[in-house]
Chain A
Amino acid sequence: MADPSPDVRAAAADLAAVIERASADLKLAEEPSGFIVALEGDEDPA
């Protein structure tokens, strides 16, 4: 694949900066799959 253009590199850097700011105070226990747990709540569908 060709080298990324400056625009593409800049857009990726902007996104990385957003995530760095947003993740600054993440708790150690926060897992990537916590989203599904948040949506499903405490309800046991079974």
Chain B
Amino acid sequence: MTGWTIETLAREIATCRISAVEATETCLARITRFDRRIRSFITLDADGARAAARGLDAELARGRSRGALHGIPVALKDLCHVRGLPTSCGTKTAEYFTPERECAAATRLRGAGAVILGKLNMVELAVGPFGDNPHHGDVQNPWRPGHSAGGSSSGSGAAVAAGFVLGALGSDTGGSIRMPAACCGIAGLKPTYGRVSRTGVMPLSWSLDHVGPMTRTVRDAALLLAVIAGRDASDATSSRRPVPDDLATLPRAIAGLRIGVPENYYFDRVDPEMEAAVRAAIRALEGLGAVLVDLRLPDPEPLVGVANVITRSESAAIHARLLRERPHEVGPVVRARLEIGFQISAHDYIQAQRVRSRLTREFIGEVFGTVDAIITPTIPEPAPKLETVTAGSLEEIVRRTGQFSRFTRPFNALGLPALSVPCGWSTDGRPLAFQVVGRPFDEATVLRLGCAWEMSAGASGRLLEPDLVD
């Protein structure tokens, strides 16, 4: 696996230096050897993957390539419904979610030649940022066992970082793509609300859910996004906007791009090593010609309140039957968080949606009238110890959860594209990361800045891999 990215492996497969079957077997062998400890997979579909890879090799032998992902091993968070595989959503029930339609993003990945190895572990019902799961085991951070892999797309972050797959899909309602990406030292993109279809993906909050790619490099995230983005009539929130060719604009110089550096909130109470790494990355982008603009962002606290009211209300409605009929099957912290939704009035829910409308319009007008993107830390501290964050009273755990996701959650309420990019290591070897946020549907600029940093730091040229133990 060393050195493979989606881009480089696709080239090797296209030129027949390695087959899709060989790439798949390499990944399967690595999963079999190491995932007992990492616990990133809930369902491994080895037979299905081998059959798909054989088919793709046969197609290539006949001169037909499906394109950018031909033969690339990937996996999906276990709330993406894939025909023939169970979808537990991290619950005790193996087939908790069985919609009529398959996950639209999974169908597009397969159509572009990806080999789906299976379904990835996650926080129960996607409620929580630390990667713990009472039914399928706590996902371990591949760089630091015993530490959080982030969540709720914990298995997606860990599987990509561990080199089990080249890319994964995650979902993000309050930071659930970006937090595990940051904890695991990979790239994770929450696209603009409406850019990627959520059809066939278990909802947590219809108004705040996003589906997006998690990969080893920013360039690979752009490759996956190009495949999964675009209009889907079966998702009522899917945008009709055409999808631009972000890959073509990725190598463009960033000189002249205006980067907003928040003066308030986003650097408050941040771990010193995290803050130093993020500020160093910002200075490196300035060195490449970006213009830094110190600015005071609109207060994020009302946005966080709005997001919480909407998530609690919608998730309680979605999982009402489970909570009514089998509450004992749900972990106590997740259950308590869901139950809050039953106590929120329709009046407050509607007011929250109206406030969100106003705050979004104001934020876009005020901030993006001045800058092209903003950069913040993705998380306030490197991956914490699992035993620390999951200990204590319900109230303490819920408070910790809010603290850990406080830099990502506002951008779910705003629906803006937000990318987490690795930017170094703490002295004890935990990944550090920054978050780039852009205008609505301007994934191109967000990816371009992430890619510029990555190239300047040499990350694409020398991919590191964790030392795993069987």
Contacts and interface: CB of A to CB of B under 8 A. Distances in A.
A40 to B, nearest CB: 7
Interface residues of A, number: 35
Contact of B440 (A21, A30, A40): A40
A42 B412 CA distance: 21
Nearest to A18: B305
Contacts of B268: none
B302 A18 contact: yes
Nearest to A16: B348
A19 B343 contact: no
Contacts of A45: 239-242
A22 B306 contact: yes
A28 to B, nearest CB: 10
A2 B335 CA distance: 12
Contact of A41 (B207, B302, B344, B440): B440
Contact of B343 (A9, A26, A38, A43): A9
B333 to A, nearest CB: 11
Interface residues of B, number: 46
Contacts of A13: 343
B361 A7 contact: no
B115 to A, nearest CB: 33
Contacts of A20: 348, 351
Contacts of B306: 18-19, 22
Most chain A beta-carbon neighbours within 10 Å: one of B192, B239, B354, B441 = B354
A35 B312 contact: no
A23 B356 CA distance: 10
Contacts of B336: 5, 7-8
Given A16-B345, A40-B239, A35 B340 contact: no
SS class of chain B's interface: helix, strand, loop or mixed?
A: helix
A36 B394 CA distance: 35
Given A8-B343, A15-B340, A31 B242 contact: no
B355 interface: yes
A18 B394 CA distance: 21
B318 to A, nearest CB: 15
B355 A4 contact: no
B25 interface: no
Contacts of A1: 323-324, 327, 342
Given A8-B343, A15-B340, A15-B344, A31 B357 contact: yes
A36 to B, nearest CB: 7
A8 B305 CA distance: 16
Interface of B: 192-194, 207, 237, 239-242, 301-302, 305-306, 308-309, 312, 323-324, 327, 336, 339-340, 342-345, 348, 350-361, 364, 394-395, 398, 415, 440-441
9 contacts: A4-B343, A12-B344, A19-B351, A22-B355, A26-B354, A27-B358, A39-B364, A41-B440, A45-B241
Q: Which 8 A-B pairs have the closest CB atoms?
A: A34-B357, A18-B305, A12-B343, A32-B353, A45-B240, A38-B361, A23-B351, A38-B360
Interface of A: 1-2, 4-5, 7-9, 11-13, 15-16, 18-23, 26-27, 30-41, 43, 45-46
Given A16-B344, A30-B354, 9 more contacts: A11-B340, A12-B340, A18-B302, A18-B309, A21-B302, A22-B305, A23-B351, A32-B353, A39-B192
